[in-house]
């Protein structure tokens, strides 16, 4: 039974962001536990937990559980006192809190120092070796896992690295957090439905409440007629990506989109029906330097 080290107790940002709309109408509720720290940089686990939580809230694909209630339940039930969460404990937390997922993570940071020294290379201009100043390199390794609360199974896990050519380990952490959260979004994207079609206009039931902005693109998936597997009794259905939509007008709880050409869907039929599922595509990663905690973390 795989266990995940929690370290100190939870550090969550209090938030009530809108949950992702899933094809099965289940809400993606998430409790984020405090990450553990296995590196040489003290207190990095708290910074990492806060940074990941802030970005997950920004993405709007989870309803993040309130920290105060989470810790109160943990204290009352004496859960995680050993600093570990196993499948049984995760299942218990899920039942008590009513959350579907629990996020655990670990971070390791290191700052490498190369002292000033004379270069062993010969400088042909001066005819002698030359002095090289002190240099630093910050490195961060971040692992994030999402556990299904009702089963204790790992639903998703990712590992990200970040580095910075100085002693600012938070810059290195920013890179790792950004890459990890982009991987989280890929596994748990924002989904909605086509609710109306009017000529070239497609009305979707996701809007500003899901952080949708003009220009966002969606993959449209059509689910064909299902049939029952005669052996297992499981209902099977054929799903096919049929189009890509781009948001043209965005409102509080909906947006209006139009079909566009995109290599994400090859041989697009552009034949849409009301009830088709739409998945918001991950936005392009900016090429500019990521400042820690900045608005440049685009999802």
Domain boundaries defined on the chain? 4-128+140-187, 191-280
Residue-level pLDDT at 18 = 34
Residue-level pLDDT at 204 = 98
How far is residue 213's CA from residue 210's CA, in Å, rounded to a whole number? 9
Name residues whose C-beta falls within 8 Å of residue 290's C-beta, 6 or more positions apart in sequence.
171, 174, 175, 178, 296, 297
Burial 80-97 (b: 16+ CB within 10 A, else e): beeeebbbebbbbbbebb
- Read off the pTM: 0.81
Closest CA to 242 of 216, 214, 257, 223: 223
How far is residue 282's CA from residue 299's CA, in Å, rounded to a whole number? 6
CATH superfamily, domain 4-128+140-187, is ABC-type transport auxiliary lipoprotein component (3.40.50.10610)
Residue-level pLDDT at 238 = 86
- Are 71 and 88 in contact by the 8 Å Cβ rule? The answer is no
Domains 4-128+140-187 and 191-280 share a fold: no
Count CA atoms closer than 13 A to 230's CA, side-chain side: 0
Q: Among 2.30.30.40, 3.30.300.90, 1.20.1260.10, 2.40.10.410, what is the CATH number of 191-280? A: 2.40.10.410
> Could you state, in chain order, the average pLDDT of each consecutive group of 10 residues for the chain (299 residues)?
36 34 59 89 94 93 81 70 62 81 93 81 63 88 92 92 93 94 96 95 96 96 87 87 96 97 86 95 77 63
- Are 280 and 234 in contact by the 8 Å Cβ rule? The answer is no
């Amino acid at each position: 039974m795989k266990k995940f080290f929690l370290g100190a107790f939870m550090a969550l940002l209090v938030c009530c962001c809108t949950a992702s709309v899933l094809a099965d109408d289940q809400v993606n509720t998430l409790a984020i536990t405090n990450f553990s720290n296995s590196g040489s940089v003290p207190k990095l686990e708290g910074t990492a937990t806060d940074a990941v939580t802030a970005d997950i809230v920004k993405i709007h694909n989870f309803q993040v559980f309130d920290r105060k209630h989470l810790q109160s339940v943990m204290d009352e039930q004496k859960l995680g006192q050993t600093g570990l969460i196993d499948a049984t404990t995760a299942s218990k937390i899920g039942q008590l809190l009513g959350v579907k997922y629990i996020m655990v993570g670990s971070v390791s940071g290191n700052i490498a120092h190369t002292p000033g020294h004379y270069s062993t290379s010969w400088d042909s201009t001066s005819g002698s070796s030359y002095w090289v100043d002190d240099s630093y390199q910050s490195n961060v390794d971040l692992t994030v896992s999402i556990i299904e609360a009702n089963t204790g199974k790992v639903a998703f896990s990712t590992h990200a690295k970040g580095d910075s050519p100085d002693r600012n380990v938070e810059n290195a952490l920013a890179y790792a957090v950004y890459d990890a959260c982009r991987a989280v979004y890929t596994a748990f994207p924002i989904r909605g439905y086509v609710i109306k079609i009017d000529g070239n206009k497609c009305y979707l039931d996701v809007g500003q409440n899901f952080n949708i902005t003009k220009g966002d693109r969606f993959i449209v998936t059509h689910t064909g007629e299902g049939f029952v597997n005669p052996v297992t009794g499981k209902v099977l259905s054929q799903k096919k990506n049929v189009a890509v939509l781009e948001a043209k007008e965005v409102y509080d709880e909906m947006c209006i989109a139009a079909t566009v050409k995109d290599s994400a869907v090859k041989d697009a039929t552009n034949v849409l029906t009301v009830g088709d599922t739409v998945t918001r595509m991950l936005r392009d990663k900016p090429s500019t330097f990521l400042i820690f905690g900045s608005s440049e973390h685009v999802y």
